[in-house]
Amino acid sequence: MTDTARRTSQADSSSYASFAKQQLATLLPELLLSGQLIDRSGMAHLIGAFGREGMTQVAIEEWMAASPVYTGRMRAALGIDGDGVVDMFKCLQLDIGAPPQFMDFRYVVHDEYHGGFVLDHCGALMDVEPMGDDYVTAMCHDIEDPTFDATAIATNRRARIRPVHRPPRMPSDRHPHCEWTVTIEPDRDELPLPEVTLPVLETAAADVVLSPIDGAASDGLVDYRGPLVEDLVFGDFAHTALVRIAEEVALQHHLLAIGFRLSVTRRAGADVAREITGKQLIGIAGMTSERLRDALRLGDSAADLVTVLRAHPILGPRQYTGVVVEESGSGDGVRIRVPQDSPAQRDGGWMDLLTPEFTAPLDAMVCGVDSRWAVAGARLSDGELVVDMARGEPRKEAGEVAIVRFSSGSTFSFADRGRAVPLVPIPITPIG
């Protein structure tokens, strides 16, 4: 086999296509939760640098920059081509801002343009409530108002998402945690695309071509054109669709990181943004590896580590990052190859942070599989950052990972809720 053929083969095997259908169905809730935990990783460092108000503004800009872009991509990928509340809710079910069960959205549809939802459980609230009402208000009021609308306009610019009630909870055990209405009115002014979204639309991530879905596949759904279901059952989708969904969810991570880094850069300059985004990356890299290992019921061997790394959203999707993961040596080591000329490198999100001198995110990533795995060496070679992993003495996890562990998402378990149940519209009953 030629070197070019070898590299092509290895790159192919490092994509989500190398996973079986049931593995992908297991991975997808984990990938969505990983995206939610990005903020648990990044916000602590923002608070340290800018205080609560600065953290709030970065979070607003981060999500407003990314969510219209990745929501539009998911709509196109899965044929969610309507402009009503059902279409919006379908997109939310595939959004890293609303991972299933952890952010337990329960939807109601009244008609094509009217509906709502409650959060039967809000993992983000559980994380923030111990910090006090000021932080709860920042998340549930200051951040949610503009970012919910930014997500909604990807479906219809006349959509509005407004609260019925929301935290701080009164009484303190109020349930459900919050309730929101969704309305789309034909005579309402359209919301503009947020200014912070515009530079993200110019990135390679916004229009990178990912794996096409084979519309002729017979092993499950190839789109989400059918009825809205109360809970997505990922196993109902065809393998080809699951591959594309996984790639899109991984890309959502990178789009959020781009929005985060751009916001911090505007506030504090490129050097500070690089430092804080690097800390964010270390934290989410380690926690996600640990959860992926457990979800796939893997051990600590080199082969197991390769499997986790090939599933890791930070290293994918391959079409965007170009990253190749392989066993090295006699099977007792692992090598990660990160091309220095890729769409991800050019976008300036996470991947261009990695250098021979800064491999801490990869170190945390492999430590999350087993504390004896560590970076053994890193070098630039033939246009790639080549990082070798070897097993040594057990190590303490990075402090950045320990911060993420404070989130209830670090130990959250997904439940099997059975088959997908179509959501039946409930007409609004006139008063009087």
Q: Could you read off the pLDDT of 85-112 as tens digits, one per residue?
A: 999 999 999 999 999 999 999 999 999 9
Select from 209, 262, 208 the least CA-distant residue to 66. Answer: 262
**pTM for the structure as a whole:** 0.94
- Give phi and psi for 187, each to the nearest 5: -95, 10
pLDDT above 50 (res 5)? no
Q: How far is Cα 150 from Cα 153, in angstroms, rounded to an integer?
A: 6
The region that residue 73 occupies, defined by phi over 0 for left and psi between -120 and 50 for alpha, beta otherwise, is alpha
Q: How far is Cα 227 from Cα 318, in angstroms, rounded to an integer?
A: 31
Per-residue confidence at 2, pLDDT binned at 50, 70, 90?
very low
Q: How far is Cα 312 from Cα 287, in angstroms, rounded to an integer?
A: 11
Residue range 195-209: mean pLDDT, rounded: 97
324-328 and 333-339 strand pairing? antiparallel
pLDDT above 90 (res 429)? no
Distances from the Cα of 78 to the Cαs of 90, 233, 237, 248, 295, in angstroms? Answer: 10, 15, 11, 11, 25
Residue range 125-152: mean pLDDT, rounded: 93
pLDDT of residue 294: 98
Q: Could you read off the pLDDT of 256-297 as tens digits, one per residue?
A: 999 999 999 999 999 999 999 999 999 999 999 999 999 999
Share of the chain above pLDDT 90, in %: 91
pLDDT of residue 428: 80
Buried b (16+ CB within 10 A) or exposed e, 331-346: eebbbbbbbeebbbbe
Residue range 9-19: mean pLDDT, rounded: 65
For the chain, list the domains and their CATH numbers.
3-15+273-410 (3.90.1520), 19-247 (no CATH)
The tokens for 370 are 């087993």
Q: Could you read off the pLDDT of 34-54 as tens digits, one per residue?
A: 999 999 999 999 999 999 999
- CA 215 to chain centroid: 25
pLDDT of residue 432: 57
pLDDT of residue 431: 62
Mean pLDDT of the chain: 94
For the chain, first and last CA: distance in Å?
78
pLDDT of residue 15: 81
What letter does residue 131 receive in the DSSP assignment? Answer: G
Share of the chain above pLDDT 70, in %: 96
Cis check: omega of the bond before 356, within 30 degrees of 0: no
pLDDT of residue 12: 53
